[in-house]
Each structure stands twice: as C-alpha cells, then as structure tokens.
Chains A and B, each alone.
Chain A
Amino acid sequence: MSVSTAPPGAPSRRRSVPGAKVAAGLRRVARSPAGAFGLLVVAALLVVAILAPVLAPHDYAAIDVPRRLEGPSSDYWLGTDHLGRDLLSRLIGGVRIALRIAVPAVLLGLAIGLVVGLVAGYVGRWVDTVAVVVMDAIQSFPAVILALTVLALLGGSATNIIVVIAIAFVPGFARVTRAAVQSIKQNTYIDAERNLGAGTARIILRHVLPNIVAPLLVLTAMDLPGAIAIESGLAFLGLGVQPPTPDWGVILSDGFERISLSPWPVLWTCLLLAFVTLGFTFLGERLRDVLDVRTDDSPASSR
C-alpha cells in the first residue's frame, strides 16, 4: 500500500511493518552500553548454540586421561577437566543444554501465567481469590527449594526440570497479566464495546493483550537468566540432566570437587555464567527503559 493514494489530510491508515518496528526498537536498545552488551551476549549465545558442533575444537565427550586437569594450552585452549576432556568444547556444548531447558521453561511459565492471570483478572470474585492464594503459596517457596522438592521425588529428566522451573515463573507472569486485566476492565470503552456486542475473546485479543505485550516481554528477558541460573544450580546439586552431557552446573560441581587441584573448570564456568546472566539482565533492564514498563525485579522473584 502506498501512502500517496490517501487523500491529503486524511489520517494515514498505513500500518508500520512489524520487522521495521523491531529493528528500530533494537537500535534504541543498543544505544546504551548496557543494552548493547546485553544484545551482544544474547546474540553470541544464539550463534554458539546453533553452531556448537562447528565451533567446538574437540568432541566434548572425548577423554584424554593423561592430560587431565591441565591449564590452558595450545591443544586445549581453556584447559581440561578431571577426565582430560576439553573445557572449551564442554562449555560450548553446555550452551545448548542451558537454552534448551531455560527457554521452554520460561515460555511455559509465560503461557500458564498468562492464562491464570487472564482468568483471575477477568472472572474476579472467588476465582481471583483462589488464584492469588495459590500464587502466593508458590512464591512462598524460594524457586530453587520448590524445584529441589519436586525433582527429589521425580528424578531429573529434561521435561521434569523444564516443568519445575516453569512453575516458579508462573506467579510473576500471572501477576502482571492480572493487574493489567483489572485496570483495563475498568475503562468505560470496555463497557461500550461490550454493549456493542463484543465478546470476551474480542476484548482480550484487541484490548488486553496489546497492553501486556511490553511488560511480559521485559519479564521474559528478566526471567531467562533466572531459569539458566536455576537449571545450572540444580545440576550443580546433582539434580540435573545426566552425564556425560556437558551441563554448566555439572562442570562446576566436578570442578568444585577438585578445586585445589585445578581452578580452571570453576573459573571459566563462573565467568561464563556471570557473563550470560549479566547479558540477559542488562538487556531486560534496557528493554524496560525503552518500552517504559514497571516490573518487580526483586531477587526473590527470579530465584
């Protein structure tokens, strides 16, 4: 559609192309150093996840016992672990596992939280009260403790870990959604729409959802490092995916047991985890400023 066909003075009905909007948004995010750093880390993480087998200099499971617990060398750039496996390749392999657990976990939490928040906010009355009490009860567990309890009974398969982490994130998403629904519901234009015969589905799709996209996006970016931290933490405590998968938490706990023999596994993994979580958090912070939303970002909400 071309703009010149519109009569002069008439409001242009041309919709901005979503792609261009996103690109403009990303440029604004990248304008601050923290935002640029966040974008860079997240982009690098995605590239490494996709190209992991090409980028890894060695097979992450290849054992070279005579050269175990070595420091950085030309063969093994970051050194080796207690079985002589290449640390760099294992950390690269770990990117995939971290994302494969964290991303579905946060998305699942988002989906459930969205539904709970919509229903609680829209229906109100006792449904709302029940939802609030249950969400409070979930949040009264520190996320890690909740995950530990359930996994202790279930054993740690990838699906279980995803579900358990997702549960911890449901209340955050539900809260944001519920609050948005409640405030939008009070507007007179909603009454007007309803009187015109608009159904619940239309009101939710046209009025509620567009208003909560921004806060939910920010919350997602903020929750991802939390999910990665919980996943690696569970693996560190021995409740993660089973070896020989190169989970960051497993590399950490293997390294921790031999920390006086070789600091390298712990050192690199700590640095990497710090970079990754910082990247996502800075990106989330910047997104929040750009999109101008308020969220609760207390450490307790993501841990």
Chain B
Amino acid sequence: MMAYALRRLAMTAMVVLVLLTLLAALVHVLPGDPVTLMLGPQASGDLSRLARTEMDLDSPVHLQVWHFIAGAAQGDLGRDFLTRVPVASLIAQALPHTLILAVSSLVLAVAVAIPLGVVSAARPGSLLDRAVGTVSVGVISIPSYVVGLSLLLVFAVWLGWLPALGAGALRSPIDYVAHLLLPMCALALIWAGYLARIVRASMLEVLDSNYIRAARAFGVHDRRILYQLSLRNAIVPVVALLGVALGDLMGSAIFVEVIFTRNGLGTLLYNAIAERNFPVVRGAVVVIAVLFVVANLAADLANRLLDPRVRADQAG
C-alpha cells in the first residue's frame, strides 16, 4: 500500500509539473502576443514594456517556466493584470463557493444514484430498470448549461420559487441554500445518471456472487441482502469515480456559475477571459487542474483502502 501510494504520488507530482510547464510555456507555444491581445494594438511602447516585465515575458522561456513553478509552489500565482491584486487572494475568495457547489452537487448525485442503481439492479429488465437506464444515458449527454438554463427558466423565471441570481451571503445559511439549490441540481443531474449506471452494474455483479447466493439460501431478507450485504461491496467503484466526478463538476461549474451569476472560480475565469486578464486565467486554471488531479489521487487511494481485493490485484 505504502509503495503504491508513493508511486501514485510521484505520478501525480509529475502530471502537475507537466501542467505547470505547459501553462507557463503556453504564451510562447501559441501564435500571437498576449500583451497586444490584452492592451490592443495601439498600446504605447512604455505600457507594453511594463506589461511584459510584469508578466515576466522578457526572461528566457525556461526561466519563465521555472519562475512560475517556483512561485506556484509558494502560493504565488502572480498579480491581477488590471487591479494588481494577487491572483492567489482572488482565488481564495472564489474557491469556497465553487467547492461548496461542487461538493454539494456530488453528494446529491450520490444520494440519488445509489437508490436508483440498487432498485434497477434488484429487478433487471423491469420497466423501472429500463426507464432508469434510458433516463441516465439521456442526462449524461445533455450539456450542463442546457440543464442549468432550463431549471432557471422553469423554477426562477416561470414559477418564481427560487432566486435566480447570485450566491447569497454565507452569513445567512437559509438564503445561501436557497441560492444553491438550482445550480446544485443542474450540476448533480449528469453525474446522478452516470453513477446510477455504475451502481447498477456493480450491484448486478455482486448479487451474482456466491456469498449472496448463500445468504439467500439462508433466507436472509431481500432488503438486507440489497442494502447491507451487497451495497457495501457494490459501492467501491463509485468511490473510485468520486475524484473524477469532483474535478469534472468543478469544470462544468463555470457554466452554472455564469448562468446563476454565482461567485466562484468559474465566474472569476469567465470575467478574466473577457478582459484578457492572462495571469488570472492562468492562476484559476492551475487551481482547477490541481484540484482535479488531487481529487483523483485521493479517490484512488481511498478505493484501495476500502477494497482489499484491488490491493491484492495490483500488489505485484
């Protein structure tokens, strides 16, 4: 386990390094000049020169990459190009909102997916099973902004049940939750469908195993077989996916945050792109990508802790 964790950690560190290098070098790999893009072609020579120094564009490329990585390691992601606020503090303000949104969506998705998956697996081929199957394939493919806009249209514009705009204040929890509901549902839907399928597939596999057959033979009650004996093993693949899911939700959050005008990493990134604020774009992307990679790592390790079989499988 320790050796595996270390190997996995080394791999993750490598991926993060490659990511940071790519992001630092991106400006040079791509055609066009970021300073001209930001300031426009009429910018004075002084101003462009200042911008170039500010963004560390005059050092040799390998030094730029080094400066960026060394800075990022110390939590320094550069400064906002327009307001000169440190990018790290902008992100620190935005990140909690995005994390709350992503984590709560994930919890909702899991809470919906497990019963659906179990019920489908209990009677494979039944009408309910086929309905759940079709709907879950359906929701996987629909873009999150389509779901978000539809929810906005129905529940905020037509019915007026829930507030459409903003994230609410963290100080008044009820208000915050009311603002969270629609974006949370919009994000959760896609993963609820997918996870339900995963739960169903792994439940079917477990239900077919000998220990379940033995339990049935002993007359153990159906509900106990489904929810206690089988689910504990069937849940393992879901845990392995939670990391990917969390990362993906952070990415889709940009649409949902823009649609519901929530504060968060997504809106930060969106606004930075609109004003071509390259340091902020880069910082936000680094944080999203690193969170994604780390979430994956955590889910992988948790998966091995939970399931001795995976450990034995990959021990060699």
Q: Name the residue of chain A whose CB is nearest to the CB of B19.
A: A137
Residue count of chain A within 8 Å CB distance of chain B: 48
Judged by a CB distance under 8 angstroms, whether B71 is at the interface is no
Closest to A132 in B: B11
CB distance from A101 to the nearest CB of B (A): 14
* Distance to closest chain A CB from B302 (angstroms): 17
Within the complex, which residue of B32, B138, B145, B245 is in contact with A233, where a contact is CB–CB below 8 Å? B145
Considering only residues 224-270 of chain A, those with a C-beta below 8 Å from chain B are 225, 229, 232-233, 236-239, 252, 256, 259-260, 263, 266-267, 270
A192 touches B (CB below 8 Å): no
What is the distance, in angstroms, from A148's C-beta to the closest C-beta of chain B? 6
Contact of A213 with B by CB under 8 A: no
Contacts of B22 in A (CB 8 A): 137
29 A-B residue pairs with Cβ-Cβ distance under 8 Å, sorted by A, are A34-B134, A34-B137, A136-B11, A137-B15, A142-B247, A142-B248, A145-B285, A148-B285, A149-B26, A149-B285, A229-B141, A232-B143, A236-B145, A237-B255, A239-B273, A256-B149, A256-B259, A259-B149, A266-B149, A266-B153, A277-B141, A277-B142, A277-B146, A282-B138, A298-B248, A299-B140, A299-B190, A299-B194, A303-B252
Q: Give the distance in Å from the alpha carbon of A142 to the alpha carbon of B288 in the complex.
A: 9
Map CB proximity to B onto A263-303 as digits: 1 under 8 Å, 0 otherwise.
10011001001100110111001000000000001111001
Known contacts: A144-B252, A300-B245. The answer to whether A225 contacts B150 by CB under 8 A is no
Report if A77 contacts B (CB, 8 A): no
Q: Point out residues on B near A: beta carbons under 8 Å.
A: 11, 14-15, 18-19, 22-23, 26-27, 30-32, 34, 37, 134, 137-138, 140-146, 149-150, 152-153, 157-158, 190-191, 194, 241, 244-245, 247-248, 250-252, 254-255, 258-259, 269-270, 272-274, 276, 278, 281-282, 285, 288-289, 292-293, 296
**Contact, CB under 8 Å: B259 / A141:** no
Question: Are B146 and A274 in contact (CB-based, < 8 A)?
Answer: yes
Q: How far is the CA of A25 from the CA of B259 in the complex (A)?
A: 42
> Chain B nearest CB: distance from A296 CB in Å?
10
In the assembled complex, the CB of A66 is this many whole angstroms from the nearest CB of chain B, namely: 24
Give every chain B residue within 8 A of A281 (Cβ-Cβ): 137-138, 140-141
**Is A282 touching B18 in the complex (CB atoms < 8 A)?**
no
Q: Is the CB of B142 within 8 A of A140?
A: no
- Residue A155 CB within 8 A of the other chain: yes
Shortest Cβ gap from A31 to chain B (Å)? 15
- Select which of B26, B137, B143, B158 is within 8 A of A273 by beta carbon: B143
A20 within 8 A of B: no
Which chain A residues border B272 with CB–CB below 8 Å? 152
Contact: A270 with B141, CB < 8 Å?
no
User: Is A143 at the interface (CB under 8 A from chain B)?
Assistant: yes
By beta carbon, the residue of chain A nearest B258 is A237
Q: Annotate A147-167 by CB proximity to B: 1 below 8 A, 0 otherwise.
A: 011111111000000000000
Knowing that A140-B15, A144-B251, A270-B153 touch, tell me 10 more A-B residue pairs with CB under 8 angstroms. Answer: A140-B247, A141-B292, A148-B254, A149-B26, A150-B26, A152-B278, A152-B281, A225-B141, A238-B273, A298-B241
CB distance from B255 to the nearest CB of A (A): 6
Cα separation A270 to B141 with both chains bound (whole Å): 13
Return the contact of A274 from the options B34, B142, B274 (Cβ within 8 A): B142
**B31 / chain A contacts, CB cutoff of 8 Å:** 154
CB contact under 8 A between A153 and B142, given known A137-B15, A142-B247: no
Contacts A140-B19, A153-B26, A299-B191 given; does A282 touch B142 at CB 8 Å: no
Contact with B along A203-228 (1 / 0, CB 8 A): 00000000000000000000001000
C-alpha spacing A152/B145, complex, angstroms: 20
CB of A133 within 8 Å of the partner chain: yes
> Is A134 in contact with chain B by the CB < 8 A criterion?
yes
**B152 and A278 contacting across the interface, CB-CB below 8 Å:** no
Between B11, B32, B247, B251, the greatest number of chain A beta carbons within 10 A of the residue's beta carbon is seen for B251
B120 to chain A, nearest CB (A): 16
